Structure 1
Amino acid sequence: MTAQRILSWTPAAIVFDCDGTLMDTEIHWQDARIHALREYGFTPAPGFAERAKGLHYSECGLLMATEAGRPELGEEMTGRLLAHFRALVDDNPVTMPGARELVEDAARFAPLAVASNCPREVVESCLGTAGLLRHFGHVVVPDGAIRPKPHPDVYLAAARLCGAEPAETLAVEDSHVGIQAAERAGMRIMGVGPWPGDRTVALVDLWVRSLDEPEVRGWADTRVPAQLSRGSAPVQEIGLP
């Protein structure tokens, strides 16, 4: 990792993932998968949660059906998965530690967008309930022309809408699938969450356990004056263990 590529830099735009990055919804996805599978008499196989993390919900539904040995139920399971997830989120929308503070600070010095594999109405409902939606100029989700993560499309579209080049854009992500998408888009990446292993960490510039880590808070607090002098000094790259 080259942490100073983030910590000594002011991005032209910041694009956040939603699930597990801004909103604490991963437990809802896990519960929704379990509920949906149990409706059909199946239980998740070992390691299923990790294999499903970050996938577009339609791909997750197909994965569920395939691992249950009933691939023909993919579309049906996808519908049940999404229904369970929406109900769980409506009951308990929770922001991740430090997410609110970082978004509020970042909105003072850069245009913000969300790039998510979730349906738009789910993302906007979550962020709206949390009081964060107003800080984002754009919410980008897969559609007919934009492929889901790990394709780079949602990140490329978000940077374009923010008026920034991908190389001048920061992606904030928690999943390997999302990090792959941001890396393929050519962005600098801040990864967040429990240590995911070397394979994932090798793709990011900085990994933090949560967005309320002191180095993240300090970086955000000093960006406004740094914005005035962007480009006045070369970026120092320091390899950190």
Structure 2
Amino acid sequence: MLSRSQQNDVPETLARSTAAVLCDLDGTLLNTEEAWRQTVIESIEAMGFVASERVVSAAEGATLEQTAALLTRELSLVDAADVVLHALETRALARLRTNTGWLPGARELLVSLDHVDVPIALVTSSPRRWVDAIAKNHDLSVFEVVITADDVVNTKPHPEPYAAAAAALGVDPERCVVFEDSRPGLNAALAAGCRTVLVRTGTAPWSEGADAVVQSLTGVTAAWIAERFGLSAPTSARRSPSTRRTRRP
């Protein structure tokens, strides 16, 4: 934790200390992005098309519904979008149940935040049934709030998911730090008024809006957040894992 004098050295634009952390799931905490990418490629090829990099990349960070609409439009499919959606979901769920794991540093980040009692929310464009499937193999109990595509009217890049997470935690969005890996997610967080950390290997021209960019979550902890953004001290007694309950909006 930074001392008061150290916090005064934080740049003015980042001077308001962090009161909560909001995390994307796919590609940020879990290595589901490759599973999703392969799902899109296999689905396109199963329909008799060649999966172009342009179309596959456009599905990055998109919801299931957005991807089904994308493929239906880009491939001029005869099948309705709901048929494509079902095919995508069948493949995706099969992969998510077996081919996912925590990305480097992700668990350590969550544990460090939990240790100092910083509220954490999970904000994902995946439907809740996907999150429930993932939770069977990965402990998500550290999240006090889980916002999925089923919980909002507008998904990323709209600010609603992150605004809803901040509201559910009772925290001003400006005092939230968001960890994201995709352009839609970054835009959603920025539009909601949150401070942002982009977790992405390599560079992207659209990453300039992020407050910080890291190649991975390795070494990113509560102390790392405190050093860069300030971190509020706990205002209540710590809650044990047995008393924490994940809240839905």
* TM, length-normalised to structure 2: 0.81
Distance in 2, matches of 1:181 and 1:221, equals 23
Structure-2 change in CA distance of 1:182 and 1:149 (3 Å): same
Residue of 190, 203, 209 corresponding to 2:197: 190
**AA at the equivalent of 2:209:** L
Residue of 92, 112, 118 corresponding to 1:110: 118
**Where do 5+ consecutive residues of structure 2 fail to align?**
1-9, 236-249
Secondary structure (helix, strand or coil) at the match of 1:118 reads coil
Quote the residue 1:202 is aligned against: 208
Q: Deviations over 1:129-171 (max 9, x none)?
A: 222x110011101237531101011100000111100111111
2:126 is the counterpart of 1:121 = no
Q: Deviations over 1:153-195 (max 9, x none)?
A: 1100000111100111111100001000001000000110113
Asked if structure 2 preserves the Cα contact closer than 8 Å seen for 1:62 and 1:71, the reply is no
Distance in 1, matches of 2:12 and 2:86, equals 41
Distance in 2, matches of 1:8 and 1:208, equals 20
Residue of 122, 127, 130 corresponding to 2:138: 130
**AA at the equivalent of 1:147:** N
Structure-2 change in CA distance of 1:128 and 1:136 (3 Å): farther
Aligned-pair Cα RMSD in Å = 2.7
Quote the residue 2:82 is aligned against: 75
**Where do 5+ consecutive residues of structure 1 fail to align?**
231-241
Quote the residue 1:92 is aligned against: 99
Distance in 1, matches of 2:226 and 2:151, equals 39
Compute the displacement of 1:6 (Å): 9.6
2:224 is the counterpart of 1:219 = yes
Structure-2 change in CA distance of 1:8 and 1:229 (3 Å): farther
Quote the residue 2:7 is aligned against: none
Distance in 2, matches of 1:188 and 1:158, equals 14
Residue of 50, 54, 59 corresponding to 1:47: 54
Q: Deviations over 1:41-75 (max 9, x none)?
A: 12212322221100111101111121211164322
Compute the displacement of 1:222 (Å): 7.0
